Structure 1
Amino acid sequence: MEHLFSPYSNKGLALKNRVVMPPMCQYSVFNKDGIATDWHYVHYVSRAIGGAGLIIIEMTDVEPDGRISDFDLGLWSDEQIPALARIVDACHQYGAKVGIQIAHAGRKAQDAEIPVAPSPVAFDENSKTPRELSTDEVKQMVDKFQQAVERAVKAGVDTIELHGAHGYLIHQFQSKLTNKRTDEYGKDLTKFGVEIISGAKKAMPENMPLIMRVSAKEYVEGGYDIHDSIEFSKKYKEAGVDIFHISAGGEGPIAAAGKPGTHVAYQVPLARMFKENLQIPVIAVGRLDEPALANAVIGNEDADLVAVGRGMLRNPYWTLEAAAKLQKETTIPKQYVFGFPNK
């Protein structure tokens, strides 16, 4: 039976275990130029030393006004490549593989003077009303995603994740709540996402898998549900997605009747439904910090990989401690061996 410390492979991506550090924004680009800093270096490399199999670098944006804040990472310029390459190279030295999440915040770009979106629909009463992208601008945005992926590949990453979840730009196009367009990108809500996937695949080596993060449910009145997301994700799979990273929410105010659960593993059933209906590998995420629980998600074949977010924010060495608790074999840096019990 497979478990959390079984190796996993997809195309040219070979992982030593099933533990994923998911993308989590650090808002730590202090000079606002989108270039990774020493904070990012220490943050990611420490999780590689700590045993994670796959590290996905936080939401990294395709243009300056695509950032949630001016303190986010970017890949709209070649000048941003070297700092990321330094992180990737160091993580590789400690046995971790590295992905990066390519994204655009759309209407949720808080520091943009005028955010852009599929339609001029504000996120809430405290948010700016975005400007609707013209059809030509949408096509240019697809190109910007492809160019960012090209730069990520130059930085040496092992996989790419496209951010199609949490109410950001790709999500905004695929949701009827936020896409009120009458052009080709309104008639087919998946067209924008499909074109971005196709562009990403052109920029990636053939043996590199493409991950896409999606919100399986919107948790808002009138929003899409799991059955809708499975249907539109079939088109994303056909376009070239190799692995889905299953999250939820992020669009509109949370409705009391549909708010997400607060119990552990509340999103795992969504991941399982994607895996079963699409016959595709999935990453499960959401309150999976207990090693026994994360291990069970793999052992019960609910998902192929498990993302541990808050647990790794608290403890860079979560993976090493999980191996000790589960009595599974893993490589412990020789400098830290005395800190772990003998089997």
Structure 2
Amino acid sequence: TCLDFDGELFHRGRLGAVLEFPSTAGMRSWLPEAETILKELHAAHQKQPVFSTGLTELHLGAVTVTATDICTILSSVPTLRILRHYQLVTALNLLHGEQWRRNERLPKYRLRNLDADFSHVVRCRMSPEAVLPPDVLQLAVLLCPAACQVHMRFDCSTPHDVLAPIATSLHSLRELSVVCVTSGERSNLNFEDLTAILEHHGADKLRSLELKVIEEVDVHVILTTCAKLERLVLSGCGNVMPPTCHSYNCGDLKLPTLRLLFFADGDDFSWDHAVPPCFWSATLGTAHGSRLEGLFLESPRIAAGTVFQHLPNLQVLSLCRYPEVTLGDVIAMCGLDKPSVRPLLYIRLSDCQRIGQREKRRLTATLNGAHLVVD
């Protein structure tokens, strides 16, 4: 049995109501709408769980609970396979931290996810609260040996090596989400601290990678270590721009199984949001047979004049703050100039200066039932 206060688990294997695109489509600002659509497209590709008696999966979403409440849940239902809430690892530490530090025998949970919040939630002049001990993920991995999904929040005060147990001790990793909570401060933890995780797990099992407000991201590392990615989210990250890409054999880099790509430049905390051109060749190129179904780009800084090719599986195209994109680019990516293509569900073009009402009318005339928003 699954109890879901978020919708992420419920919509596995099915297209949710958001993907029906009613008249409210385009009413929200670009970012929250794009993130919601992305989540539902991702959920639609997940397998529905096999029926079982008793509660096995619990997603608390935005429900207000404390780590003590989650301790009660774990004690009452120790056989849970999914328990989504950022206080999960805090609760595990409350229950078993002292046992572990006394070298006592530890129980084993069936949990397949580890959600941790190392952040103080730094805001203005608020006094920071106590955070998790830096070695707590080592304990969490021991308690949950079947875990294959990791969701983590941190801030500028988080030690840079807190994620090390994910690379050294976790048996398998299919989904990794790392989010920095910041008011503009530079953090100790950056992309270099994630490299060992990607090198260890990327080539084998990693299917979903989400990085938000992470500094010194080198997309070459992602492209070379995570060839089986199906979902990639880079939002508000600062990127390393090497002076040359020749030594990376960029022409051979590709993500052939990628279904969902979300790239946003965020709140401009980072020093360089641009990525090398080879990233776009690897993710948007079709020479290797593109599987992209959802493409979400905010201020991607793709060079003007880039030739786009038809993405034959595309269902959702959502672009924002993209002054270089033209009507011809949209037509090419969506295959609207071809006699028979897979019908799209939704196109949104926000703050794209070269696409106005005239271009909207031309697009509308070529669409076959897709919902179109130009704002």
Asked if TM exceeds 0.5, the reply is no
Q: TM-score range by the shorter chain?
A: 0.3 to 0.5
Report the TM-score when normalising by structure 1: 0.37
Q: TM-score, normalised by structure 2?
A: 0.35
- Structure (1/2) with the larger helix percentage: 1
